[in-house]
Amino acid sequence: EVNDFSWNLDVNSPNCLKRVGAMDLSASKVDGRKVCGVLVVCAYPSMDILYEDYEVFEIDVPYVPGFLAYREVPSLMTLMNRLRTKSPEKVPEVLLVDGNGIFHNKGFGCASHLGVLIDLPTIGVGKNVFYVDGLSKDYVRDLTDQNLTKGGDYIKLVGNSGRVWGAAFKSTHEVVRPLIISVGHKIGLDTAIQVVQNCTGTMRV
């Protein structure tokens, strides 16, 4: 849960982050075995697209709550390995993953699982709240309703134990459900929040 990389977010620094990626996997509403995986890499901070790839996969692993990584990560790995083969110079320095990182009932969600396997800093960016350390869906909703009033606001999610599990982030004023940001791999929460803030800008997510 600490930064383990050489880049920074200072646009005036020669070591500023240059490439940020994002990955998602969506299941067909007609056939749950068919999923579409997507990988996009953007230049930072302009967010100009450098690389795009997608593929439709057929997955036999059933969806089991809390074990989503076993269903999704192999397909995401295929896309990342293809990028490393085709365009290694475009491999992202940090990756946003649709799903949770350590804010997970096993402490190790999709973003963490993928980050360990690809050995890159990853950030979990999800919309679902697992019941972890007293942080229930209702509690987080009440907390965000009371504290997130405008776009860009966030509040850290602290469990009963005192551990900080992640943060709820309101990307724009119109957003009702905040994004749930959590550490995936090789990055600290404060940096993860800043990356997501800078990448979403004024876009509604």
Taking the C-alpha atoms of residue 22 and residue 41, their distance in angstroms, rounded to an integer, is: 7
pTM, whole model, 2 decimals? 0.95
Rounded Cα–Cα distance for residues 147 and 69 (Å): 31
Strands (E), the chain: 19-27, 34-43, 49-58, 94-98, 122-126, 154-158, 164-169, 179-185
Residues 6+ apart with CB under 8 A from 157: 103, 135, 140, 143, 164, 165, 166, 167, 168, 180
Judge whether residue 204 has pLDDT over 60: no
Structure confidence at residue 159 (pLDDT) = 97
Q: What is the mean pLDDT of residues 12-27?
A: 96
Q: Using 50, 70 and 90 to split pLDDT, how confident is the model at 44?
A: very high
- Cα(first)–Cα(last) distance of the chain, in Å? 25
Rounded to 5 degrees, φ, ψ at 181 are: -100, 135
| H or E element that contains 142 | helix 137-147
Q: Which of 24-38, 111-125, 191-205 has the lowest mean pLDDT?
A: 191-205
Q: What is the pLDDT of residue 192?
A: 98
pLDDT on residue 150: 92
**Which pair of structure tokens corresponds to residue 61?**
């692993």
Q: What is the pLDDT of residues 169-203, one digit of tens each?
A: 999 988 888 999 999 999 999 999 999 999 987 55
pLDDT by residue (tens digit) across 68-97? 899 999 999 999 999 999 999 999 999 999
Q: What residues form DSSP beta bridges with 39?
A: 23, 53
Residue 26 pLDDT > 70: yes
Looking at residue 205, what is its pLDDT? Answer: 53
Q: Which of 112, 70, 72, 109 is nearest to 95 (CA)?
A: 112
Q: Which pair of tokens denotes residue 112?
A: 């963490």
Point out the least confidently predicted range of 3-17, 64-78, 159-173: 64-78
89-115 pLDDT, tens digit per residue, is 999 999 999 999 999 999 999 999 999
Whether residue 163 is predicted with pLDDT greater than 80 in this model: the reply is yes
How far apart are the C-alpha atoms of 204 and 141, rounded to whole Å?
18
CA 22-138-72 angle, 5° bins: 30
Predicted local confidence at residue 203, as pLDDT: 58
